[in-house]
Chain A
Amino acid sequence: MSEPHVSVRHVTKEFGAHRALTDMSLDVTAGEVVVIVGRSGCGKTTLLRLIAGLEVPDAGEVWLAGRQVAAAGRSLLVPHERNIGFVFQDLALWPHLTVRQNVEFVLESGGMPKPERTSRVQEALATVRVEELAARYPHELSGGEQQRVALARAIVARPAVLLMDEPLSSLDPDLRTTLRTELLRVQRASHVTMVYVTHDREDATVLAHRVIEMRGG
């Protein structure tokens, strides 16, 4: 069996008196889609934030592509160097930037030349079919369009791992089905490793190579 692409080893995380995760372990192989289901408050989001580097574990380790990125009480690699794409539950589109600028911001830090950046942004927007919305601001988009832009922003840098935190939870059933199919298409085309958090069993059925149910951290 190949080395796991994402490896969470015996991680514990507490927020004050509340223990979000207790001795949690998870391995995800390259190109795999793992869907994590579970009730609200069981630690799903905390797990994603630990992988992304937005939280530091109190105990245990986090490894990405064979490299340790977090140990107990400290981060060994800052979030922007972990090569991760993240779609937040509330999408977190930057309201003062246009769709194009939202997506391009991700590439600016890497020092990529402008022409290449432009072409990559165009490609990402085309992948999720929102090229015509490039000049608009987030508040000028519908919920589904915002969702697509958030996905474009997450994939434009061609991350090794895509983390998704209930990205479809705020959409109506028809739009959920459409975007779920879209997401599946993007993942199958790019073979990106994906950890997808949801409480919707249908998301799990359609997208997952493997489903993990979390109970109380």
Chain B
Amino acid sequence: MWGAWSSRTAVVGLALAVFVVCCLLPSGYLLAVSLGSATGLSALLIDARQRQLLSTTALLGVGTALVATIIGAPLGAALARVTMPAKALLRLALAAPVLFPPYIVALAWTYVCSNWIYTPGAAILVLGLVFYPLSMLATEVAMRRVDGRLEEAALLVAPRARVLRRITLPLVGPAVLAGGLVIFVLAISEFGVPGLLRVRVYTTEVFTAFAALYDFGRAIHLALPLLLLCLTVAAIAAWLVGDRLVTTSRPVGVRPVAFDDWRRAATTSVVAVLTIALVLPIAILVREALGARGLGAVLAGSREAIANSLWLAAVGATVVVIVGACLGYTRARAGSIGGRLADILLVVVFAVPSTIVGIGLIGLWNRPGAAGTVYGTDAMLVLGYLARFVPLTALALAANVRYVPVSQEEAAAVGGAGWLRTMWRIVLPQVRLGLAAAWMVALIMAFGELGVSILVAPPGEATLPIRVYTLIANTPPSHVAALALLQAAIVFLPLALLAAAMRVRERR
């Protein structure tokens, strides 16, 4: 339909180039540097100290995946199949913890749990309470996609509990497992929480090697096993989920079977999880911040960091959504094999730990010549946002574009419209809600980003997360709590707008 010389080639080509430069090259650079030398290759033969590091990292990943799945999967099942009032709002509130910077949640718990909090077990619990929404959403989507007739056929011969156990759960099992694997990857990639809770894992060691010891070689040496582990597990997760990442349709006219017998248990669980994962951390921060003296000076001192964070996040989110929309469109219109490979690639790239992305970006851009003019500017932060958030945005927008039938593009083409005009007038208007949601989520994630920012931010420049994180060590807790609360409030604003939009949509 669209020839090689159409505007699509130029636009998609440009987006692909940005994807390659920002998302693939940093990891590719690290792999090339590591595997290209004999000393680099020795990184794969880990010593006793690294074995300890690996076991703590693995413990953090497995533990977090288990805790998050135990909390999230039943909530996802309840959201999919139990009748509850204001479900869209509940879903958003339950999903909110994953949008908060994890170290803020960890910070809140440090104020009430003094000794016990500085252990791997506490880090697992904190990360479990942050990442459970991923398992919840994966389970809910999978539960909604189960053909209602398969359950009805079972209901004719078995009670609901057995139908759930024997028919429904095995059908959603791969999605729950994939969700767990993604959480595993995110947990072992996480830098802020283990750093704050003094748990020594690969990401904190990579950061220390680079930022404290200025040993770039050792940082790369440490990054390689972590990178390979993340890439492998993410690839398995993407393969498990398969085409379902982007295809979200379910059989038309078949209502999913409701499990309203468990409404009371579901409601109790929702309230308990919301209290522990969302209300309590915020309440703790509020209590701590209320005791602050000279708060005005602290806030005034952070004004520049707040402004930096806001405009950089806004610019970053806009560029991320533009590139993500082009890639998402390409993915949505790809054939089944190409599409599946693209899904795996996007998930794998998303799984690259932030500290590794940061070091990769530094390695690529910190050099003489044209690249060097970019290094040391705010553009590095935008490049970091692109590297981290384009894959996820592309996957989300691909799922949106799939709802627009190809025949609508064909009709526009037959009518003489070019690709750009077809996009502008036909496709994009139909996915505008998805674009708006993607922009808000990208804005929230960019605003809270720490792992890449703390490595690539220009000297003297700080975003709010960097300022909060660096103030923790040498500022009264009440001041840090106030700043963290401010950061949470800024995250809440777009979230509240999103909730309002969803509420309006639900009422329709």
Q: Which of B145-153, B235-243, B380-388, B462-470 contacts A (4 or more CB under 8 A)?
A: B145-153
B214: min CB distance to chain A, Å: 54
Docked-complex contact A96 and B170, CB < 8 angstroms:
yes
Main secondary structure of the interface of B (DSSP, over half): helix
Q: A105-B166, A109-B158 are in contact. Are A54 and B152 (CB under 8 A)?
A: yes
Asked if A80 meets B150 with Cβ closer than 8 Å, knowing A94-B167, A96-B170, the reply is no
Which residues of A have CB within 8 Å of B166? 105
Note all chain B residues with C-beta closer than 8 A to A95: 150, 171
Within the complex, the shortest CB–CB distance from A49 to chain B, in Å, comes to 8
Q: Give chain A residues whose Cβ lies under 8 Å from the Cβ of B251.
A: 90
- From A84, A94, A96, A108, give the contact of B156 (CB < 8 A): A84
CB distance from A75 to the nearest CB of B (A): 11
Residues of B within 8 A of A157 (CB): 157
- Report if B159 contacts A (CB, 8 A): yes
In A11-50, which residues have CB < 8 Å from any B CB? none
Interfacial residues of chain B within 157-172, with CB under 8 A of chain A in the complex: 157-159, 162, 166-167, 170-171
Q: A80 contacts B156, CB within 8 Å?
A: yes
Mostly helix, strand, loop or mixed at chain A's interface? loop
Q: Bound complex: CA of A50 vs CA of B260, how far in Å?
A: 19
Chain A residues with Cβ below 8 Å from B171 are: 95-96
Nearest-CB residue, chain B, relative to A108: B158
Number of interface residues of A (CB under 8 A): 22
Q: Does B154 contact A (CB under 8 A)?
A: yes
Cα separation A84 to B166 with both chains bound (whole Å) = 20
Asked whether A109 lies within 8 Å of B162 as measured between CB atoms, the reply is: yes
Given the known A-B contacts A94-B167, A95-B171, A96-B171, are A109 and B155 also in contact in the complex, defined by CB atoms under 8 Å?
A: no
**Is there contact, CB below 8 Å, between B167 and A109?**
no
User: CB distance B157 to A109 under 8 Å?
Assistant: yes
Q: Contacts of A133 on B, CB cut-off 8 Å?
A: none
Which residue in chain B gives the minimum CB-CB distance to A96? Answer: B170
Interface of A toward B, CB cutoff 8 Å: 52-54, 78-80, 82, 84-86, 88, 90, 92, 94-96, 105-106, 108-109, 153, 157
Chosen A-B contacts, 30 in total, with CB atoms closer than 8 Å, are A54-B152, A78-B155, A78-B159, A79-B152, A79-B155, A79-B156, A80-B158, A80-B159, A84-B156, A86-B156, A88-B149, A88-B153, A90-B147, A90-B149, A90-B251, A92-B150, A92-B152, A94-B153, A94-B154, A94-B167, A95-B171, A105-B154, A105-B157, A105-B158, A105-B166, A108-B158, A109-B157, A109-B158, A109-B159, A153-B153
